[in-house]
Amino acid sequence: MAPIPRLAYKPLSILTGALLGAIGGPSSTPSPADGKNATVWGTEYSGMASVVDIRLVAANSTESVELSTNTTTPTPSPTHIYYQADENNFSACNGTVVFTNTDNVVLLNTLQFGNLTDTVAKNSTCGQWIDITSRANTAQTIKAQIVGACDECEYGSIAAPVHVLDVLAPELNLKKLTFDNSTTAVNIANATDATKPVSSKNVLPISWQLTKGPGQEDEEDTTDPENPSATPSPTKTKTQPPKPEPTKPTPPPPEPKPVVKKYTGRGTWFSDTSGQCEHDFSQSDMIVAVNEAQMGKGKNLCGRKIEVKRKGYSETVVVKVVDMCPSRYCDFGDLDISKGAFAKLAELKVGVLELEWNFVDDE
């Protein structure tokens, strides 16, 4: 692989972000005295999204926390810390939620998170999923899982990693910015120099509501009326009495059109002639290497067809998945395409394109 190198953003320490209150003292927005949250199914909430790196690591709940700055601080409550489960996984909420550094996860403000000491209780939102929408562009949405509480977030607000917020606001180019939690940092709305730190606080206006997680979409909604914040549990489908046969056959309703899931990312070209799918190809072929976050180490996407277009242009090209682009070169949504495919969208000397793409075949 030979993509053009990408600019990496400087992660915001979770200690100086969502966990400042948990480590430094009482929260500025304490949770309700009864430990219950104020998050109700079917209700949309509005607030702001802040940037935070939630990959803080400690060996266990009794040891001190080793930060990237090589400073040591006493361990806060396990509700507010994320332990490394193995080389690539992290666990949160007393070990009840496990995620990787590429998963879509968020921290929820303490007023709506619920019980901070017993995260497996029915009045905790830990592990639940939310649908997040950009209020600046309501067409941009993403689903994410709640893995902890954000002490500095106001009611209705969240904190999330850059790769989550980048989906909601790709126009901000968050991955190219350096974030700072200090009060002197420049507000993102006033940022004109990409080399100067930008405040990590309240970078994007958002709205959100509780939703079912992956694999739960087809389950019957059985929300507990006494505890509307609890995750709905699946139940058996009720048996309906047989309907009388109509006198005349009625045609079946038209099948709904499938929703095409679209992705955005950076596009580069590469020069390989073999890849993870284990067959040779030519650079004149219409082929693509998918980023590791979506492709993984396996071959599930091998042979899939992808329609690619340059953002803001109408010209499209259909390419076939033959390889994986490692995470050190490609972030979530990025594609590395052949020279032949790249040339249909722009001249090779352009080097990097902003792409919009989607799968065009059935899974």
pLDDT digits (tens, 9 = 90+) for 54-97: 766 654 443 333 333 333 333 333 334 566 777 678 788 777 88
5: which residues sit within 8 A by CB, 6+ positions away?
329
Residue 254 has pLDDT above 50, yes or no: yes
In angstroms, rounded to a whole number, what is the distance separating the alpha carbons of residues 21 and 30? Answer: 10
- Confidence band for 243, pLDDT divided at 50, 70 and 90: low
Residue 16 has pLDDT above 50, yes or no: no
Kindly give the pairing relationship between strand 198-199 and strand 158-160. Answer: unpaired
12: which residues sit within 8 A by CB, 6+ positions away?
51, 52, 53, 179, 180, 181, 200
Residue 23 has pLDDT above 70, yes or no: no
Cβ-based burial of 94 (10 A; exposed 0-12, middle 13-18, buried ≥19): middle
Task: Compute the Cα dihedral for 230, 234, 236, 238 and give only its sign.
Answer: positive
Q: Look at 79-88, 145-154, 331-340, 345-354 and tell me which has the smallest mean pLDDT.
A: 79-88
The mean pLDDT value for 264-283 works out to 86
Q: What percent of the chain has pLDDT over 90?
A: 30
State the maximum Cα–Cα separation within the chain, in Å, rounded to a whole number: 79
The mean pLDDT value for 4-33 works out to 32
Q: What pLDDT, on a 0 to 100 scale, did the predictor assign at position 70?
A: 32
Tell me how far CA of residue 69 lies from CA of 7, 11, 58, 85, 185, in angstroms. 21, 12, 14, 21, 19
- Confidence band for 21, pLDDT divided at 50, 70 and 90: very low
DSSP state of 209: E
Radius of gyration of the chain (CA): 23
Alpha helices in the chain (DSSP H): 20-24, 110-113, 162-168, 292-295, 339-345
Scan for tokens 């500025």, then name that residue. Answer: 28
Please tell me the total number of residues recorded for the chain in this structure.
363
In angstroms, rounded to a whole number, what is the distance separating the alpha carbons of residues 92 and 83? Answer: 7
Q: What pLDDT, on a 0 to 100 scale, did the predictor assign at position 59?
A: 40
DSSP state of 349: G
Q: What pLDDT, on a 0 to 100 scale, did the predictor assign at position 64?
A: 36
312: which residues sit within 8 A by CB, 6+ positions away?
354
Q: What pLDDT, on a 0 to 100 scale, did the predictor assign at position 324?
A: 92
Residue 116 has pLDDT above 60, yes or no: yes
184, 141 contact by CB (below 8 A): no
Burial 102-128 (b: 16+ CB within 10 A, else e): bbbbbbbbbbbbbbbeebeeebbbbbb
Q: What pLDDT, on a 0 to 100 scale, did the predictor assign at position 65?
A: 38
The mean pLDDT value for 93-122 works out to 83
pTM: 0.49
N-term to C-term CA, the chain: 26
109, 157 contact by CB (below 8 A): yes
Q: Which of helix, strand or coil describes residue 294? A: helix
Q: What pLDDT, on a 0 to 100 scale, did the predictor assign at position 220?
A: 57
All structural domains of the chain, each given as residue ranges with its CATH number in brackets, are: 20-211 (2.40.40.10), 263-359 (2.40.40.10)
- Confidence band for 31, pLDDT divided at 50, 70 and 90: very low
